[in-house]
Amino acid sequence: MKRLLPLLLTAALLAPTAAAAPACPTVSAASALLMEQETGTVLYEQNAHEKLEPASVTKVMTLLLIMEALDSGRITKQDVVTVSPYAAGMGGSQVYLEAGEQMSVHEMLKCIAVSSANDAAVAMAEYLCGSEDAFVSQMNERAAQLGMADTRFSNCTGLPISDHYTSAYDIALMSRQLLFHPDILSYTTIWMDTIRGGAFGLSNTNRLIRHYPGAVGLKTGFTDSALYCLSAAAQRDGMTLIATVMGAPSSDTRFQGARTLLDYGFANYALTTVHPQQALPTVPVLLGENELVQPVPEYDCRLLLPKGHSGQLTTEFSIADNVEAPVEQGQRLGEMTVCLDGQPQAVIPLVAAHPVARLTFPALFSRLVRALLMAD
């Protein structure tokens, strides 16, 4: 059996305001979208599901698969990649890798993230999967897992090829996932760097990194057929926004479109952390060394809200009447539902703050004896 314990939270961070609703931005591009990264909330969209060529913004997925391989321990940054003749023959943006040349995963990542190097992207695809085709199959599998229903990849570079498309919404989905690997920012925020011991310079194709406060990435793209594309991410005041622009008529237009979207998001929205203002009730532990265990939220609840919103936040707790030992730290004991103006916004698991071991037989016997003596 569970009990519901309503707890009213003040909305001090949500002071009322008389400001008018913010005007929607205008972006001169075939499609565009603005997403808050932590919650995945879409704040603006324009033809967001139109299937278009992404050009080198394709490499967001390439980088995601590389980062997942690194974070899982499959590869390390110190691994040495040998460049194949096929990879060395890639056209478009490149760092002029030669067949047989060897370069670390770390330097390959710099080449892809900073200079959008097609040759480095293919070299890494072959290193991870044996061939670009096999890697592209993994790209499409990962896209399906992320819910990228508007997407089909045919290569790992974004060079023009048939049956290769995505949407502004899907670019935001894979960009959001890439940002869950924070080490990628050590590459996507590089403005200028070198490889080959300083002999070859790299310059970031995303000029927002230099000129937009808080910009942290992620990827530009251009071909004659795709026109100018961009996945731009920026961080301010603990919030990360992703602006995607596809099919812009010029480089200036895509960057201005991203600035407009990011400015709109930062000016009008904020993440608010919801903290209960009183301790949650303890849960009795049957046959435990400790008689009670304290439930706590498994993680902070952060809601994305319009700045100046005057709504009321409330929480409801559904907590077990008791639990039997042993209890593991982090064991689920209930859940907390956060509501805004009575509408559910998030459900946060409540878990045991500490472990509780089961009573041994001698300890149980001793407890029973004490209980009998007290009863007398």
CATH of the domain at 100: 3.40.710.10
What mean pLDDT is predicted for residues 107-126? Answer: 98
Q: Is residue 52 part of a domain?
A: yes
Q: Which CATH number goes with the domain that contains 299?
A: 2.60.410.10
Of 39-43, 93-97, 312-316, give the lowest mean pLDDT range. Answer: 312-316
Are 222 and 131 part of one and the same domain? yes
| Range of lowest pLDDT (45-59, 208-222, 300-314) | 300-314
DSSP assignments along 160-176, one per residue: S-TT-BB-HHHHHHHHH
pLDDT band of residue 375 (cuts 50, 70, 90) is low
Asked if 56 is an active-site residue, the reply is yes
Whether 376 shows a pLDDT value over 70: the answer reads: no
Are 333 and 371 contained in the same domain?
Answer: yes
316 located within any domain: yes
**Same domain for 296 and 180:** no
Mean pLDDT score across all residues of the chain: 91
Do 60 and 156 fall into the same domain? yes
Query: What value does the mean pLDDT take over residues 31-44?
Result: 97
Question: Do residues 353 and 243 both lie within one domain?
Answer: no
116 part of the active site: yes
Question: In terms of domains, do 77 and 215 share one?
Answer: yes
From residue 226, alpha-carbon distances to 10, 51, 52, 277 in Å are 49, 11, 7, 52
Neighbours of 375 (CB within 10 A): 6
pLDDT surpasses 60 at 13: no
Q: Are residues 8 and 35 in the same domain?
A: no
Q: Out of 31, 56, 93, 167, which one is annotated catalytic?
A: 56
Indicate which residue of 59, 167, 175, 231 is catalytic: 59
Q: Could you tell me if residue 242 is inside a domain?
A: yes
- H or E segment and range at residue 256: helix 251-268
Check whether residue 53 and residue 8 sit in a common domain. Answer: no
**Residue 208 lies inside a defined structural domain of this protein:** yes
Per the domain annotation, does 225 fall within a domain?
Answer: yes
Per the structure, the complete domain to which residue 352 belongs is given by 2-14+274-375
**How many domains are contained in the chain?**
2
273 by DSSP, 3-state: which? Answer: strand
**Boundary residue ending a domain (211, 232, 248):** 248
Same domain, 86 and 191: yes
User: Is 59 labeled as catalytic in the residue annotation?
Assistant: yes
Half-sphere exposure of 116 (CA within 13 A, CB side): 25
Over residues 236-256, mean pLDDT: 97
Last residue of a domain, one of 188, 213, 248: 248
Q: Which of 31, 84, 93, 116 is catalytic?
A: 116
- Residue 347, C-beta contacts closer than 8 angstroms, at least 6 positions apart: 335, 336, 337, 338
State which H helix or E strand residue 55 sits in. Answer: none
Q: Does one domain contain both 237 and 312?
A: no
Cβ contacts of 160 within 8 Å, gap of 6 or more: 53, 223, 224, 225, 226
Determine whether 307 is exposed, middle or buried from the number of CB atoms within 10 Å of its CB (0-12, 13-18, 19+). middle
Over residues 170-181, the pLDDT tens digits come to 999 999 999 999
Is the domain of 120 the same as that of 227?
Answer: yes
pLDDT digits (tens, 9 = 90+) for 144-190: 999 999 999 999 999 999 999 999 999 999 999 999 999 999 999 99
* Same domain for 278 and 139: no
The answer to whether residue 61 sits within a structural domain is: yes
* Residue 54 belongs to a domain: yes
In a domain, 281, yes or no: yes
The pLDDT score that the predictor gives to residue 238 is 94
Last residue of a domain, one of 232, 248, 264: 248
